[in-house]
């Protein structure tokens, strides 16, 4: 392990995760997202997911994240009250969000029940020292437009993050174009749910107009390159997003789709994959990746202080150091 990383206690943020999915690590390999979800993950979740499972598996995931020096993570899953309890017992700060879907799930019968659970969590953890809350509709293909708007109203009422998967696959992008004559980003823009408190996970498939919208609305993007590559979804246009001043942070996604909860690995892969697809080794330099791993995550998730310093102090600290060990470190 790098001494530098240990000494500075970098505020590594995992901005998109489904911690309890560590239970599904390695259970459905080499499948595209649609098949992976519909044939494997959703049936397994219907059978296996309950309160006890979420708490036990989240604790395992937190232990793995701590081993990998992650200081904070954003979670989206079922029984998020159990995620909060697991995090409190493990002394790990987290942003929780009960994932909202339009069909019955292990933790509620319909969307409205899911929204009620969310509001209870928003009330219960207001001003909690470890637990932050969000409103987390799953995606545009699992939640209706009315419900996406309703979820945003709730997020605005409590002034919290609106966390949603967006434009993860070409199929999602193409289906949205066909159905609404809009890209997923333009569809969300039309619904009025994009603003500085919106966190979009993935954003692999974007056109130039989408990028302008994300920039204009100050939307935050959680880039999950390992999950996107494993599921054959593609590689997000991170260089273009950064050129257009879109704030990009990094996520591991669930361990089911990236196998490890190692944000450092995601940062390294983010840099290398952008260099490869842009045929340019100068893009996404180490300092930029370190920002994505740390203060960008803090900004995206609304964290003032992490690992004892605020964003400004971390900005200064990061300026001073050379993080070239990004490409050579590992934690094992
Ligand atoms: Zn995800």
Counting the structural domains of the chain, the total is: 1
Tens-digit pLDDT profile for residues 143-189: 999 999 999 999 999 999 999 999 999 999 999 999 999 999 999 99
Is 317 a member of any domain?
yes
How much distance in Å is there from the Cα of 8 to the middle of ligand 1?
29
Q: In whole angstroms, what is the distance from residue 326 CA to residue 268 CA? A: 6
Is-contact 298 306, C-beta < 8 A? yes
How much distance in Å is there from the Cα of 18 to the middle of ligand 1?
6
Is 136 a member of any domain?
yes
How much distance in Å is there from the Cα of 77 to the middle of ligand 1?
9
The gap between the terminal CA atoms of the chain, to the nearest Å, is: 7
**Model pLDDT, residue 328:** 73
Confidence of residue 1 (pLDDT cuts 50, 70, 90): very low
How much distance in Å is there from the Cα of 45 to the middle of ligand 1?
14
Mean pLDDT, the chain, whole residue set: 94
Tens-digit pLDDT profile for residues 184-223: 999 999 999 999 999 999 999 999 999 999 999 999 999 9
What is the CATH classification number for the domain harbouring 234?
A: 3.20.20.140
Is-contact 212 188, C-beta < 8 A? no
pLDDT exceeds cutoff 70 at 48: yes
**Model pLDDT, residue 8:** 63
Is 284 a member of any domain?
yes
**Model pLDDT, residue 4:** 56
Widest pairwise Cα distance in the chain: 52
Is 38 a member of any domain?
yes
Is 1 a member of any domain?
no
Residue 237 has, within 13 A of its CA and on its CB side, a CA count of 16
Is 99 a member of any domain?
yes
**Model pLDDT, residue 3:** 55
DSSP H/E element including 306: strand 305-306
Is 5 a member of any domain?
no
How much distance in Å is there from the Cα of 276 to the middle of ligand 1?
24
Tens-digit pLDDT profile for residues 266-321: 999 999 999 999 999 999 999 999 999 999 999 999 999 999 999 999 999 888 88
Is-contact 118 98, C-beta < 8 A? yes
Is 184 a member of any domain?
yes
pLDDT exceeds cutoff 50 at 323: yes
How much distance in Å is there from the Cα of 313 to the middle of ligand 1?
30
For the entire predicted model, the pTM comes to 0.95
pLDDT exceeds cutoff 70 at 5: no
How much distance in Å is there from the Cα of 131 to the middle of ligand 1?
20
Tens-digit pLDDT profile for residues 74-126: 999 999 999 999 999 999 999 999 999 999 999 999 999 999 999 999 999 99
Q: Determine the structural domain holding residue 200 and report its residue range.
A: 10-327
Confidence of residue 127 (pLDDT cuts 50, 70, 90): very high
Q: In whole angstroms, what is the distance from residue 199 CA to residue 248 CA? A: 10
Confidence of residue 7 (pLDDT cuts 50, 70, 90): low
**Model pLDDT, residue 321:** 80
How much distance in Å is there from the Cα of 105 to the middle of ligand 1?
16
Mean pLDDT (whole number) for 51-77: 97
How much distance in Å is there from the Cα of 154 to the middle of ligand 1?
21
């Amino acid at each position: 392990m790098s001494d530098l990383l240990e000494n500075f206690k970098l505020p590594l943020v995992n901005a998109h995760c489904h911690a309890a999915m560590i239970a599904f690590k390695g259970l459905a390999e080499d499948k595209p997202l649609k098949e992976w979800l519909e044939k494997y993950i959703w049936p397994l979740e219907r059978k296996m997911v309950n309160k006890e499972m979420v708490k036990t598996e989240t604790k395992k995931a937190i232990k793995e994240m701590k081993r990998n020096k992650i200081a904070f993570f954003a979670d989206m899953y079922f029984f998020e009250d159990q995620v909060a309890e697991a995090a409190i017992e493990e002394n790990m700060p987290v942003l929780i969000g009960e994932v909202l879907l339009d069909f019955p799930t292990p933790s509620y019968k319909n969307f409205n029940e899911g929204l009620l659970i969310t509001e209870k969590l928003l009330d219960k953890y207001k001003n909690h020292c470890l637990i932050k809350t969000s409103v987390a509709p799953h995606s545009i293909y699992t939640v209706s437009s009315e419900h996406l708007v309703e979820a945003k109203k709730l997020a605005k009422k409590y002034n919290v993050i609106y966390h949603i998967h967006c434009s993860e696959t070409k199929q999602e992008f193409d289906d949205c174009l066909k159905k609404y004559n809009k890209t997923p980003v333009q569809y969300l823009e039309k619904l009025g749910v994009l603003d500085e408190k919106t966190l979009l996970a993935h954003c692999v498939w974007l056109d130039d107009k989408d990028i302008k919208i994300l920039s204009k609305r100050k939307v935050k993007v959680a880039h999950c390159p390992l999950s996107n590559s494993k599921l054959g979804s593609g590689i997000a246009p991170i260089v273009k997003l950064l050129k257009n001043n879109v704030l990009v942070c990094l996520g591991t996604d669930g361990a089911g789709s990236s196998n490890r909860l190692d944000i450092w690995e995601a940062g390294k892969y983010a840099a290398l994959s952008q260099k490869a697809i842009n045929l340019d080794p100068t893009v996404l330099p180490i300092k930029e990746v370190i920002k994505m791993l740390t203060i960008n995550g803090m900004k995206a998730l609304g964290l003032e202080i992490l690992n004892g310093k605020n964003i400004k102090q971390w900005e200064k600290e990061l300026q001073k150091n050379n993080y070239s060990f990004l490409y050579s470190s590992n934690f094992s």
